[in-house]
Structure 1
Amino acid sequence: MTVEDLFDRVEPLDPDRRDALHAACQSMGLSDGAVQGVEHAARLLREFELYGKARIQTPAQRLKKLRLVADLSRRLSSALSEVRTLDKVCIHARLEEVGLPDGLPFPQSVPIPGLAQYFEVALRSLEEAVLALCDQAPAPSKGGRKTLMTSYLMFIEWLWESVKDEERVTLGRDGKFERIADAAFTAAGVPAAAAGAVRFFVEVRQSADSTGHELD
């Protein structure tokens, strides 16, 4: 899925809030590409506020779900490896006949004997990716506020990646990046300023730097 495909499925910002966000970014001298990245982050954050926040997981719950995905991926991949080659060919033929749901396209190329073999290999890769994510995840801790801050990390990271190369954008308190994040939070309808989420982002980055891990 491309970035364009993703944002075809994400609700747009309220027009007035979008205009205010663009005006704030332009007043800080951000480039067009950076402004687009900030808007994308704000739209994803708005989606989270509308649909994800009520279903927020604690860090322990998140890790449990991820480990379940890794375990099921491993088990299904193992099960597919035991299916006869002829049966895999028949599975592929059936999938070609009925198609994949929701207009999902077939992979451009698949290994012989077809999609069942493709899924077997892809599920092994999925297991490895999920386990790597588990290894990088912040340690579970008690407290609702930190759980919410952990959920905001992805959006702050997206904002930072969008603007980090812009002139005079740093992570200092009350600096330009915090003002950019505040503008994105306002556009997304977050009922709080971005300062706490930005500080938590900085703390996690510093911790990751000290341990040699990447920020997940």
Structure 2
Amino acid sequence: MSALTIAARFAVLALLSGLTACSILPKAEPLQVYLLPSQTSAPSQAAKVTWSLRINQPQASQALNSARIAVLPAGNLISSYAGSRWSDPAPRLLRNHLLNAFQADGRVAALSSDDDNLQADFALGGELQAFQSEYQGNAVTIVLRLQARLVDSRSQRIIASQRFEVRQAVDSQQVPAVVNAFGQANDRLAAQVLQWTLVQANQATQPKNQ
């Protein structure tokens, strides 16, 4: 048998082995990528403020600083929904949601984010401590927890700090229902943070009594 014939047989065997291996590999699960829903509110009729605000992405643990849709199925076990992802990591989703809420409200005209790296009178940031669904039996609840901080950008002094927590019941265990409930919870959280920021920043810019 010639060397050429032997080489040809080895090539055929290698090809057949490759085809066999490919046929037993599991098929990739389709990946569903979700945007965070947002309910746009009507613009405020109150007067615009004179100060500017930069909204920063909050810090987060490695488990939350991810595009995975986090879930606590039981106790302290953290997991994620298979085949489903957010369009961005959770801290960025929340930052963008807050930015949209301030833009829709309209009272703070001079808005930016840490992506722009522009100078502003105040910076809003903090730590994202919870951004997940939690199971208790068959009941599912969205839990958001943000330790917010408002900082004077010039002096780097903390103007105010406040812990916000929102819980939103989910009417189904299906992922689309969970995503919709995330949107509702974030709308509520954004409204609370917006009002708090306006009060704290307005107080900080008032002239001090002599």
Question: Which bin holds the TM-score, normalised by the shorter protein?
Answer: under 0.3
Bigger share in strand: 2
| Length-normalised TM-score, structure 1 | 0.19
Bigger share in helix: 1
Higher relative contact order (CA 8 A, sep 6+): 1
